[in-house]
Structure 1
Amino acid sequence: MNMRDVYEYYSREDIRKALFELAQSREVVGVFKNGAFGARPNTILYPQDIPNMVKSGVVEFHSSIERWSNPMALRTDNYDDMRTGWDLILDLDCKDMEHGKVATQVFVNVLKKHGVVPSVKFTGNNGFHMGISWESMPKEADYKQTVGMFPELARNAVYYLKEFVRDDLEKALLKKFSVEQLAKQSGKKIGDFFVGDNVDPFKIVDVDTVLLSPRHMYRMPYSLHHKTFLVSLPIHPGDLEDFKREHAEPSKVKVAHNFLSEKGDSSLLLSEVLDWTGKQTKEKKRLVTRKFEILKKVPLDHAPPCVQNILTGLEDGRKRSVFIITNFLSSLKWTWEEIETKIVEWNMKNKPPLSDNYIRMQVRWHKNRDKAILPPNCIHKGWYVDIGVCKPDQTCGGQKKTVKNPVNYSIKKLGLNKSKGKYASKLRRNTKNS
């Protein structure tokens, strides 16, 4: 598909209208043929902006999960003030589209049990996006304004749903495919799928929680995919089983309905998520911890096994790992130049590597934050275990995993090596629930 064909597609009145409608109150950015993103912040003010952006080389369009009062005025210090809402987007990531179809149907069925009819769309490659609109959400939950509960509530909703569907998803995949077929179709070894005696369905189809981060974007419905040139096509949930890739060819696409058009009521779902999250918190052990301040750069030979495994290169979980490594190294007092250099070096080992633009954008976003944040805690679902890098050693506490966070591992390792004073100083002894 050449750029003239791309321009003709986006010049269609129905396509421009669909994109323009979803662009309202959202940040929108163009993506070029090489995968590079356009300048941010950006949005679409008029339908004609769409073909005009294509003239500059844009092939696909991405929009924000969050709604903003003024997308063009966004800065790192005003997100909470500018945010007026957010949509819950589930990004089902898989190597084989047929696996994604099975998983999407399982999630649809579970959401219906919670009183929610989600929107569904093909991503344009192999996966699917599922969406629950802001309009369907209660504006207050657990005595808090829902608008201010992003991204924590969105991520917890994904963790909850993954646990809820786990058994059903395993059964559905094994009903349609043998383990040998799953391995061949996903390009993995059979042993990679098993946790004990059970198949871990999220080794086959995962839900990417990195998307649920401030200012993260996803491919808009009716946008082209810059590699496949297929359309990110909204699909009625009832038509999932019969969906084929050729249905998303631009010449065959008709705008039947838009993504996030189902309003519904997700109050029950969010109530269940909050209740489940509360129970998870209560189950965490009470720990006595020593707090330390990192004084100078800590070398990587004090990094935990999960970080070491990430740094060997990955096929799955690459975007989540950028988040992990960036926050891990910044917490260990690496400079931003050193962090970017290390991540670029690591990215070359990934199969395939992430785009250079994505790496730079992520490092820049973290650099512009007011303060450093820790990488996700070891017990958080969707991260180390799901990526397949959690291989606890003696310092971790073995299978008991007594270390809370990768940074705590490094501090503990420094203490065992009697070199803690060289890199960190004790602040105080603190007892707390963690």
Structure 2
Amino acid sequence: MNFQQILDYYSREDIQKAILEIAENREVAGVFKNGSFGSRPNVLIYPDDIKAMVRTGTLEFHCSLEHWSNPMLLKTEPADYDKYRVGWDIVLDIDCKKFDHGKIASRNLIWALEKHGIKNFSIKYTGGTGFHIGIPWKSIPAVIESRKTLESVKHFPDVARQIGLYLKSYMKERFEKELFKKYTIEQLAEQTGKPIGNFFAEGGESLDPFQAADIDPILISSRHLFRMPYSLNRNTFLASLPIKPSELDDFEKEYAKPEKVKADLSFLKEAEKNEAAGLVAGAVDWYERINMQKRKKKKLMERPNIAISEEHFPPCINNILNGLSDGRKRSLFILINFLNSGNWKKEQMNEFIVKWNQKNKPPLRDSYVISQLRWYKDREKRLPPNCKGNGWYSDFGACQPNELCGKQNKTIKNPINYSFKSLNPTRKFRKRKK
């Protein structure tokens, strides 16, 4: 779009009305072509304010999650925020590379909201590949009755983040099932440009669908801004278009072309007082519980800081080292993490894995193996997948447990534990103190 087309779009009465409707009591900022933000704080009050910002180079309009008594009084000191904050909305951003992944994630987030009795939520296309799903302030109870009594307006962004994390946890199993039913892990890795191992949760006992379409509530912070409904996206020149939940499955990006847009649907306007009370209380309780569990979680086992020799490798690793025709990419991920956890030097590990790859039928592309080794080179040590993890050793025939493994009972939880136990079968390793 050229400047005149952009100005014409934002000069439309219906677009101006929709933008000004959500701008009330919010901080507003313009975004320029290069992604930089205009001066803050700023507000929109009149239609001409919109056109004036466009004339100075604004392509996108963003506004705050928080409602303020006077946005223009906001300064950089967070101490001021509680004084002027009069409310806040929850807007969860579905962040994804592939449009269809975003649809699947949005569908499951909507399901989670409906399961908690939330009917008055809003959804809009971002103008890129994802969606924004929001709960209006009116639905949030003024006081949260949990283990502690909290005044909602003073507990932003903490409560908003907790709600987001809770919903993410609540929808995970359903989202995982739907996503991996439609796409293989190999397809998802290719579509997202991520290593295949990223799609397995720590320990490999479950899959991680949020690698394809993430919801990161930690990004919610005070004075956090989101793209306003009907704002253009500066990269695609598509509108950030509110839609009805029933329209999600059939929605196509082309519906958000400026010439097709009708500003006839509000975002974060429809609300029922205290509708989200149950959701909020449940989320706060859940967050307190998982924090307690984390504190009680067993500490990591202290292990010798010596490189594990091949004679102490478990049967599954030895079977992988014989070469495979199935599960080669997963095995590469396993070997990198196993050898890394086994204190092998990087050069030694790289040479060992490149040589192993030649036994595969057929070998993985050299460029793929090298790229994976580089990816994990400076990453923090991560254990290989657990023995009973779905999609791993048993799936491609590598798991043939011996006595030290516990035979079919698999009393050894992780291949690296096997090796350290093999090194010293009588020693009980102490828990590492943090």
Q: For 1:43-82, what per-residue CA distance to the aligned partner results, in whole angstroms no more than 9, with x for missing partners?
A: 1021221111101111010000101000001021310100
**1:34 maps to which residue?**
34
Cα pair distance change 1:188/1:26, threshold 3 Å: same
**2:113 maps to which residue?**
111
Alpha-carbon distance between aligned partners in 2 of 1:256 and 1:237, rounded to the nearest angstrom? 15
Whether 1:236 and 2:244 are equivalent positions in the alignment is: yes
Deviation at 1:176, TM superposition (A): 2.2
Deviation at 1:256, TM superposition (A): 2.3
Indicate the larger mover: 196-205 or 92-101.
Answer: 196-205
Identity %: 47
Q: Root-mean-square deviation (CA), in Å?
A: 2.2
Deviation at 1:232, TM superposition (A): 0.6
Alpha-carbon distance between aligned partners in 1 of 2:431 and 2:236, rounded to the nearest angstrom? 45
| Alignment check: 8 A CA contact 1:211 1:218 kept | no
Cα pair distance change 1:251/1:402, threshold 3 Å: farther
One-letter amino acid of the structure 1 residue matched with residue 278 of structure 2: L
One-letter amino acid of the structure 2 residue matched with residue 95 of structure 1: K
**1:96 maps to which residue?**
98
Match of 1:137 among 137, 140, 164: 140
Aligned to 1:198, the other structure's residue is in SS state coil
One-letter amino acid of the structure 2 residue matched with residue 60 of structure 1: E
Alpha-carbon distance between aligned partners in 1 of 2:89 and 2:61, rounded to the nearest angstrom? 17
Q: For 1:374-432, what per-residue CA distance to the aligned partner results, in whole angstroms no more than 9, with x for missing partners?
A: xxxxxxxxxxxxxx966469xxxx997854xxxxxxxxxxxxxxxxxxxxxxxxxxxxx
Mapping for residues 385-396 of structure 1, pairs under 5 Å? 391=381
Aligned to 1:285, the other structure's residue is in SS state helix
Alpha-carbon distance between aligned partners in 2 of 1:392 and 1:176, rounded to the nearest angstrom? 28
Whether 1:275 and 2:285 are equivalent positions in the alignment is: yes
Q: For 1:269-300, what per-residue CA distance to the aligned partner results, in whole angstroms no more than 9, with x for missing partners?
A: 0011122122123324379xxxxxxxxxxxxx
Deviation at 1:27, TM superposition (A): 0.1
Q: For 1:192-237, what per-residue CA distance to the aligned partner results, in whole angstroms no more than 9, with x for missing partners?
A: 2112043201111111224310111010010001111110111111
Deviation at 1:83, TM superposition (A): 0.3
Q: For 1:142-181, what per-residue CA distance to the aligned partner results, in whole angstroms no more than 9, with x for missing partners?
A: 3221101101101111111111111111001012222232
Alpha-carbon distance between aligned partners in 2 of 1:215 and 1:401, rounded to the nearest angstrom? 40
One-letter amino acid of the structure 1 residue matched with residue 199 of structure 2: F
Q: For 1:94-121, what per-residue CA distance to the aligned partner results, in whole angstroms no more than 9, with x for missing partners?
A: 1101000000000001110101132111
Cα pair distance change 1:237/1:401, threshold 3 Å: farther
Mapping for residues 347-362 of structure 1, pairs under 5 Å? none
Alpha-carbon distance between aligned partners in 1 of 2:64 and 2:207, rounded to the nearest angstrom? 34
Whether 1:86 and 2:92 are equivalent positions in the alignment is: no
**2:154 maps to which residue?**
148
| Alignment check: 8 A CA contact 1:211 1:217 kept | no
Alpha-carbon distance between aligned partners in 2 of 1:193 and 1:31, rounded to the nearest angstrom? 34
Whether 1:5 and 2:8 are equivalent positions in the alignment is: no
Q: Scaled by the length of structure 2, what TM-score is found?
A: 0.66
**2:51 maps to which residue?**
51
Whether 1:127 and 2:137 are equivalent positions in the alignment is: no
One-letter amino acid of the structure 1 residue matched with residue 132 of structure 2: H
Deviation at 1:262, TM superposition (A): 2.8
Q: Which consecutive unaligned segments of at least 5 residues does structure 2 have?
A: 298-377, 384-428
Aligned to 2:287, the other structure's residue is in SS state helix
**2:61 maps to which residue?**
61
Aligned to 2:47, the other structure's residue is in SS state coil
Alpha-carbon distance between aligned partners in 2 of 1:399 and 1:262, rounded to the nearest angstrom? 56
Mapping for residues 155-174 of structure 1, pairs under 5 Å? 155-174=161-180
| Alignment check: 8 A CA contact 1:392 1:399 kept | no
Mapping for residues 321-360 of structure 1, pairs under 5 Å? none
Alpha-carbon distance between aligned partners in 1 of 2:53 and 2:221, rounded to the nearest angstrom? 26
| Alignment check: 8 A CA contact 1:392 1:401 kept | no
Match of 2:213 among 195, 205, 208: 205
- Alignment coverage as a number of residue pairs: 299
Cα pair distance change 1:39/1:126, threshold 3 Å: same
Match of 1:255 among 260, 263, 269: 263
Alpha-carbon distance between aligned partners in 2 of 1:217 and 1:199, rounded to the nearest angstrom? 31
Q: For 1:243-289, what per-residue CA distance to the aligned partner results, in whole angstroms no more than 9, with x for missing partners?
A: 111011111111121111231311110011122122123324379xx
One-letter amino acid of the structure 1 residue matched with residue 94 of structure 2: L
| Alignment check: 8 A CA contact 1:19 1:220 kept | yes
One-letter amino acid of the structure 1 residue matched with residue 191 of structure 2: Q
One-letter amino acid of the structure 1 residue matched with residue 66 of structure 2: E
Rg larger in structure: 2
Alpha-carbon distance between aligned partners in 2 of 1:89 and 1:400, rounded to the nearest angstrom? 41
One-letter amino acid of the structure 2 residue matched with residue 279 of structure 1: R
Alpha-carbon distance between aligned partners in 2 of 1:224 and 1:8, rounded to the nearest angstrom? 12
One-letter amino acid of the structure 2 residue matched with residue 269 of structure 1: L
| Alignment check: 8 A CA contact 1:221 1:233 kept | yes
